[in-house]
Copies of this chain bind each other. A is one copy, B any other.
Amino acid sequence: NKMNIAVIPGDGIGKEVVPEGIRVLNAAAVKYGLDFNFDTFDFASCDYYQKHGQMMPDDWKDQIGGHDAIFFGAVGWPDTVPDHVSLWGSLLQFRREFDQYVSLRPAKLMPGVTSPLAGRGPGDIDMMIVRENTEGEYSSIGGRMYPGTDREIVMQETVMSRVGVDRILRYAFDLARKRGGKLTSATKSNGISITMPYWDERVLEMQKSYPDVTVDKYHIDILAAMFVLHPDRFDVVVGSNLFGDILSDLGPACTGTIGIAPSGNINPEHKFPSLFEPVHGSAPDIAGKGIANPIGQIWSGAMMLEHLGHPEAAQGIMAAIETVLTDPALRTGDLGGTADTVTCGKAIAAAV
């Protein structure tokens, strides 16, 4: 049965790496007998905003809501559209409206990639960051009082719901159970004294249903420090929207580059399409040069296949990525290689 994929390249290097992701997916289709239909959309980009004064058409949900998944590049071009406008007008809408409440982000030290941490090699770091993706610190509730005066105050609400906290914890506990039974919860209940103690309370409650999972709790400040000092201690790490955001850049940084890190914005119930995108952004500084590393996008494609029920094809792509990473002539410049975006993408497609 055909997989209908909505393709959204977005901005900057998104437009350069998405085609390579598709190239590799097509190679996997041949190899593993899959059937894709790709529909490409020009919205959720700052170019679209400049033409239409908004990031997406009014009927965007109708246009992509029926697809099986969304294959997304990157969005944001701060020179023309402020980040909070472009992001809240696109990516953050998808996450919320399609109830993609799990953001899943592996941080794995791969062959051919040098960790900035002394003495760490492939296999030493292998974590899964599970991030709450629809509520928490990313609320749209708040505002400004006495604007423009010395008395000006600005407030923004962090909102956690039992439904929202419990479902992300359940996902994380299930994943920890599958991966060997170790879960770390990021908190800050000593300082953020209302929402974070609640988070801890729900972790304790959920733990009762998972006696086989060991749970560690770290405050986010010391947890960030621990990622650098002892990354090998972590396996599945669960955090709120903001803490998950920070850890899922920091984790990949410890594995050498955020240029290859993938992510899934997942609606586990398959009620809405899930969205797969690299962790990196649109990278205005290198956009247009054809040198961006396409591996974050390609790895995201593998996660998409996993989600759509094709784990074997996903593993095939992962194996191809590992092969290509060990060859400097096929790696991009950010990894000390000499290949451009297309060369690297073609090599991975060929290896599949």
Question: How far, in whole Å, are A190 and B224 apart by their CA atoms in the complex?
Answer: 21
Question: Which A residues between 144 and 158 are near B, CB-CB below 8 angstroms?
Answer: 144, 149-158
Residues in chain B near residue A248, CB distance under 8 A: 221
Task: Evaluate whether A190 and B250 lie within 8 angstroms (CB atoms) in the complex, with A117-B118, A118-B118 already known.
Answer: no
How far is the CB of A223 from the nearest CB of chain B, in Å?
9
A30 part of interface (Cβ distance < 8 Å)? no
Among A83-91, A265-273, A291-299, A306-314, the stretch that binds chain B is A83-91
Residues in chain B near residue A137, CB distance under 8 A: 158, 191-192
Question: How far, in whole Å, are A337 and B82 apart by their CA atoms in the complex?
Answer: 51
A142 part of interface (Cβ distance < 8 Å)? yes
Question: How far, in whole Å, are A161 and B193 apart by their CA atoms in the complex?
Answer: 20
A41 part of interface (Cβ distance < 8 Å)? no
Question: How far, in whole Å, are A118 and B124 apart by their CA atoms in the complex?
Answer: 15
Question: How far, in whole Å, are A350 and B92 apart by their CA atoms in the complex?
Answer: 58
Q: List 30 A-B contacts (CB under 8 A).
A: A82-B189, A115-B118, A137-B158, A137-B192, A138-B192, A138-B193, A142-B157, A142-B158, A144-B198, A149-B162, A150-B163, A151-B161, A151-B163, A152-B162, A153-B159, A153-B160, A153-B161, A154-B194, A155-B158, A157-B157, A157-B158, A191-B241, A220-B245, A221-B245, A222-B249, A222-B258, A224-B224, A224-B249, A224-B250, A225-B253
The chain A residues found within 8 Å of chain B, CB to CB, are 76, 82-84, 87-88, 92, 114-119, 137-138, 140, 142-144, 149-163, 188-198, 220-222, 224-226, 228-229, 241-242, 245-246, 248-250, 252-254, 258
Given contacts A118-B119, A158-B158, A188-B245, 8 further A-B contacts (CB under 8 A): A137-B158, A151-B163, A155-B159, A156-B193, A220-B245, A220-B246, A221-B246, A224-B249
